[in-house]
Amino acid sequence: MRVLVVEDFEVLARSISNGLRQEGMAVDVVLDGTAALEHLAVTRYDVVVLDRDLPDVHGDEICRRIADGRCASRVLMLTASGTVEDRVVGLGLGADDYLPKPFAFAELVARVRALGRRAAPPVPPTLACGDIVLDPARRVAFRGGRRLELSPKEFALLECLLAAPGLVISAEDLLERVWDAATDPFSSAVKHTVHRLRAKLGTPPVIETVREGGYRMGSS
């Protein structure tokens, strides 16, 4: 899942982004409205965690532009005010959910995940290919009943492949969905992560490399 965090209080922005990354999400962070619009113009995000009271371009305006542009991104609006009137205004602007500060981080994660499911095409509660089973909600994966000890990136990459059975996914698409903007687009991060994931999945191999195409899940 690709997430954009828009929050002008840098300490909070970094805390949110670091926590979401630990949950296996690819997260970009910006501290003002102008930077948010620049990122939204070039990157497809599943969820935008949007502070309402931003400098430069107000969060209300960003939310309105996302809604008016028919963008597929879902918006979780954050605000220091939790009154009913503020929630009504935020939802009326096009926000998909509304979370007042201060908030429990576990609740933020749950809301981001729920919005991410709404932004993506429907998938089954569990993903499977042969004897490989992945449960996105519980963040666990198994092969032949054996639990796989996967890093957040390995888990996210396997989830992307299992969600598109039989389809070839390019390294560029995997880089966009699993990593964030700080990653060098010419890096070998995808190749190395696939290599580690294959080793952990064991035999018979199930991740196929398609020459000049990318990767896909085969049958075990």
Residues in the chain: 220
C-beta of residue 47 within 8 angstroms of C-beta of residue 77: no
Tokens of 181: 């903007």
Q: How far is CA 115 from the centre of its chain?
A: 10
Rg (alpha carbons) of the chain, rounded to whole number: 18
Extents of the domains making up the chain = 2-119, 127-217
Query: Any idea which fold 2-119 has?
Result: Rossmann fold (3.40.50)
pLDDT of residue 139: 86
Helix, strand, coil abundance in the chain, percent, nearest 5: 40, 20, 40
pLDDT truncated to tens, each residue of the chain (220 aa)? 899 999 999 999 999 999 999 888 889 999 999 999 999 988 889 999 999 889 889 999 999 888 887 677 899 999 876 566 666 665 677 889 988 888 999 999 999 988 987 766 555 678 988 899 999 878 899 999 999 999 989 999 999 999 888 889 998 888 888 887 767 666 788 999 999 999 999 989 999 998 888 999 886 5
H or E stretch covering 39? helix 33-42
C-beta of residue 116 within 8 angstroms of C-beta of residue 47: yes
Residue that has been written with the tokens 């919005």 in this structure = 115
Residue type, 151: S
Gap between the Cα atoms of 107 and 159, Å rounded? 22
Gap between the Cα atoms of 86 and 88, Å rounded? 5
Residue type, 95: A
Q: What is the CATH number of domain 127-217?
A: 1.10.10.10
